[in-house]
Structure 1
Amino acid sequence: MAQETTQPSPPSAPAAPARALLPFILPAVVVGVAASLLLTAVSAAAEQLQHVLWGPLPDALGVGRYSVLWMFVMLVATGIAVGLVVWKVPGHAGPEPATLALDAPVLPPPVLPGLVLATGLMLAGGPSLGPENPVIAVNVGLAAWLGVRLRPRMPDTLWPVLAEAATIGALFGTPVAAALVISEALAGRPMAGRLWDNVFAPLTAGACGAMTTTLVSHPALDLDLPPMGHPHAKDVLAALVIASAAALLGMCAARAFPYVHAGFRRLRHPMLMLPAGGVLLGALAAVGGHLTLFKGLSEIGVLARAPQDWSAGQFATMTVVKLAALLVAASCGFRGGRIFPAVFAGAALGLCAHALVPAVHPALGVSTGVLGMLLAITRQGWVSLFTAAVLVASPSIIALLCIASLPAWLLVTGRPQMQLRADGTPLR
């Protein structure tokens, strides 16, 4: 009888002692608070400017605040203003935005003021982009520049990770999103120590960023939709269909992205590309209405409060228009992120499904529509699941979201992403 042999199990990575992690706490706290305050300041300044541009100014001119004429004028004017910043301000408002994702490069300090200015003008003027990518880039640049000067003994690679985690935590008002993003980024990389040792400092920064935002501006992602009860077989089918349909629609935008971007690049100059993008955005706003303007988070709340006020056709129109506006704004050179506009497009698609088939619960439609759309646009699986779940705050939907993510991920994985390399070819 052959003697059995046992293979020794590979040793697990040793845990870091507490004294090795304690020095990271203070830098993480400082970066978390500072990143949140910068995000809050940029958002508050943009909101004040938006209030003026879309309120007292058109009233004084005797023009409707969201008339087709004023939307067109404002979007073209925003293209001109941002084009001037990209053209004339030192640093040209950072690198080509179509090449950037949440993991921003470390930009030199002279670039950052122009990037902040271009982002604030964009947020106030109405293009369909969010603040996440440029604000992360600004926080990363500031943290890296100041960190190596104030704490030179700390690893240089620490500061960008802390700033990214802090900004993501501040954006979503919870450190869970930051922890998920960092964990996903660490997957497949060689790590010294255990996972929680590696995410300890970023999670601290994300928690401080989220708590600072919560205390200062009281953010809320929950749409206050009616809670969903015990799921049934029909809910599983609806989740699979809506998430897959949203992923396919988002993939259409990702497929078109390099071609639309190349079309704007042929204009060669920011004072041509950005105003031309403003013209197209104005035309799209005329079709989709004012709810398809801006980053989309507040506008989703308007839809969710009274979904019966719109028909399935109107929801479908807003979905397509918002996705097209995201495509144009991201292609022509506006500085901004793609997460929040994609959330609006997914939510509108989910409400369209509810309007077509009333048996589809609105919370289920919104969450699965957002899930599929974010998977296609961002390829961030954990962030997509997390965002879809917190929008509806219904525990019974989490299992459905996990099931629905499987076919949606099969549809998008390995396909072109909505992010380009420096040569204009899409990432996969």
Structure 2
Amino acid sequence: MTREAADSPSAAGSRPSRIVPPQARALLPLVLPALLIGVGSSLVLSGISWVAERLEHWLWGTLPNGLGVSGTSAGWTLAMLTAAGLAAGLIVWKFPGHTGPDPATRGLVDPPLPVGILPGVLLAAVVTLAGGVSLGPENPITSINVALAYALGMKFMPRAPGNAWVSLAVAGTVGALFGTPVAAALILSEASGGPDPRPLWDRLFAPVFAAGAGSLTTVLTATPALTVHSTPYPGPRLIDAVSAMVIASAAAVVALAAVYVFPHVHRGFHRLGHPVLMLTAGGLVLGALGVLGGQLTLFKGLDQMRELTADPGAHSAGNLLLLALVKLAALVVAACCGFQGGRIFPAVFIGVALGMFAHALVTAVPMPVAIAAAVLGVLLATTRQGWLSLFVAAVLAADVHLLPLLCVAALPAWFVVTGRPEMLIKSPPPGSALSGEASRRSVD
């Protein structure tokens, strides 16, 4: 190229494009929104979790002690779960928008809710978390963050596509929940969407940035809790791969039984026709299950699974199976009767209990292999998200040597669950107390 050509306006105009390609320039405007949404998502999660934890300590510790009763007694457990159901039912009945669509019809990544519904969703989520209900925080908090990000994003950057705000909020919340952006990238890579010709990492650039901001905020302000204590894994063996495949597939079959029961339980509660009746009845059933399974089967399950694995010798094989089945039943009841909450964390507890049960039956199977494989199988059946299930099982195991075994174990377990019904109600029963406009007319 001659000097004249190099100094020409056309050459000067093309120079910035060579330095910063158009694809990269298109990503830059998303950096600041991704940062703000990621940090904001983490703060919302931390704030709601903090309030729920303070309320939980008061309800299950300070209050019963003040009344001279035990917070772990059967009577208190039954009373608290029933009261939680009544409180949640009153919130659904009286708050604007009735906390939105039936939680049993919503997944982790869903369209944004109207902002006016969020106070009811927030209060209902706090009741779920503090009241001992067997559901996690992921679904309602993701819904809150998605609604806020969408409303603010469309106000201040109306030309940006609406699904961009949904992706950023989901990524920021998932990154905050798990303390790493990897889970968010895996979930969004599985989410269905329209055709997009951009490379995968161009599509994931802003969401991963939001997830990184959310996870870093959580790591700096709190301690991610998705860990359990287990004996060290001695190293990979061929027999361990076979054991992992069997355990993951068996755990998936157990969880699929709950998936098949799910719509029938949902239909049964919705025949009561009113959210107060549905949720109070659900709370009563959860209280009875809590009495049967004990305190370990209450709440979202993270602290409880650490307590369970801290002293595995304290639990017989029969008791471990009982814990897993009671928690599975509690998850189904809580999700079907209308409580706001997610299913991932309770499903992890179920997998941990089933894995310990498998190890108790066949002690030659290393505990880390049994737990990780069972968690993988339960999550595949209940979430139908392969990458997320593999990620959670691998993080829980905290041993890179288990990853090849889990990848192999995921294949037969996926064969078991693929094409089966999902733990999700596609459309609520007609006239249901949580079925949108029809419900609003029926309960108002």
TM-score exceeds 0.5: yes
Rg larger in structure: 2
Tell me how far 1:220 sits from its aligned partner: 3.1
Q: Distance in 1 between matches of 2:128 and 2:183?
A: 25
Answer with 101-110 or 79-88: which moved more: 101-110
Provide the residue aligned with 2:300 in structure 1: 295
Amino acid aligned to 2:222: S
Q: Distance in 1 between matches of 2:376 and 2:28?
A: 37
* Alignment counterpart, residue 372 of structure 1, candidates 377, 396, 417: 377
Q: Does 1:236 align with 2:241?
A: yes
* Alignment counterpart, residue 174 of structure 1, candidates 180, 200, 205: 180
How does the TM-score come out when normalised to structure 2?
0.91
Provide the residue aligned with 2:47 in structure 1: 41
Tell me how far 1:289 sits from its aligned partner: 0.6
Paired residues of 1:297 and 1:340 also in contact (CA < 8 A): yes
Tell me how far 1:156 sits from its aligned partner: 2.2
Tell me how far 1:152 sits from its aligned partner: 2.3
Provide the residue aligned with 1:11 in structure 2: none
Provide the residue aligned with 2:16 in structure 1: none
Paired residues of 1:342 and 1:377 also in contact (CA < 8 A): yes
Paired residues of 2:85 and 2:283 also in contact (CA < 8 A): yes
How does the TM-score come out when normalised to structure 1?
0.94
Q: Distance in 1 between matches of 2:43 and 2:177?
A: 11
* Alignment counterpart, residue 59 of structure 1, candidates 65, 70, 76: 65
Of Structure 1 and Structure 2, which has the larger fraction of its residues in helix?
Answer: 2
Tell me how far 1:54 sits from its aligned partner: 0.5
Tell me how far 1:18 sits from its aligned partner: 1.3
Provide the residue aligned with 2:37 in structure 1: 31
Provide the residue aligned with 1:12 in structure 2: none
The correspondence of residues 80-229 of structure 1 with structure 2, limited to 5 A, is 80-185=86-191, 189-229=194-234
Matched position secondary structure for 1:54: helix
Q: Does 1:249 align with 2:254?
A: yes
Provide the residue aligned with 1:321 in structure 2: 326
Q: Distance in 1 between matches of 2:226 and 2:40?
A: 22
Q: Distance in 2 between matches of 1:411 and 1:310?
A: 29
Provide the residue aligned with 1:417 in structure 2: 422
Paired residues of 2:96 and 2:116 also in contact (CA < 8 A): yes
The correspondence of residues 294-373 of structure 1 with structure 2, limited to 5 A, is 294-373=299-378
Q: Distance in 2 between matches of 1:342 and 1:316?
A: 14
* Alignment counterpart, residue 261 of structure 1, candidates 247, 262, 266: 266
Q: Does 1:394 align with 2:413?
A: no
Q: Distance in 2 between matches of 1:269 and 1:278?
A: 14
Q: Distance in 2 between matches of 1:173 and 1:322?
A: 25
Cα root mean square deviation, aligned: 1.3
Provide the residue aligned with 2:84 in structure 1: 78
Q: Distance in 2 between matches of 1:185 and 1:332?
A: 27
Amino acid aligned to 1:298: D
Matched position secondary structure for 1:92: helix
Runs of 4+ in 1 over 6 A off after TM superposition: none
Paired residues of 1:227 and 1:393 also in contact (CA < 8 A): no
Tell me how far 1:189 sits from its aligned partner: 4.5
Q: Distance in 2 between matches of 1:201 and 1:361?
A: 40
Residues 377-427 of structure 1: CA deviation (Å, up to 9, x unaligned): 0001000000000011011110110111111000100100000112459xx
Matched position secondary structure for 2:80: helix
Q: Distance in 1 between matches of 2:162 and 2:378?
A: 35
Answer with 227-236 or 63-72: which moved more: 227-236
Q: Distance in 2 between matches of 1:329 and 1:380?
A: 21
Gaps of 5+ in 1: 1-14
Q: Distance in 2 between matches of 1:133 and 1:220?
A: 17
Q: Distance in 2 between matches of 1:362 and 1:68?
A: 31
Provide the residue aligned with 2:27 in structure 1: 21
Q: Distance in 1 between matches of 2:330 and 2:366?
A: 28
Matched position secondary structure for 2:96: coil
Residues 115-151 of structure 1: CA deviation (Å, up to 9, x unaligned): 0000001100001000111111111100010111122
Q: Distance in 2 between matches of 1:344 and 1:131?
A: 14
Q: Distance in 2 between matches of 1:226 and 1:396?
A: 14
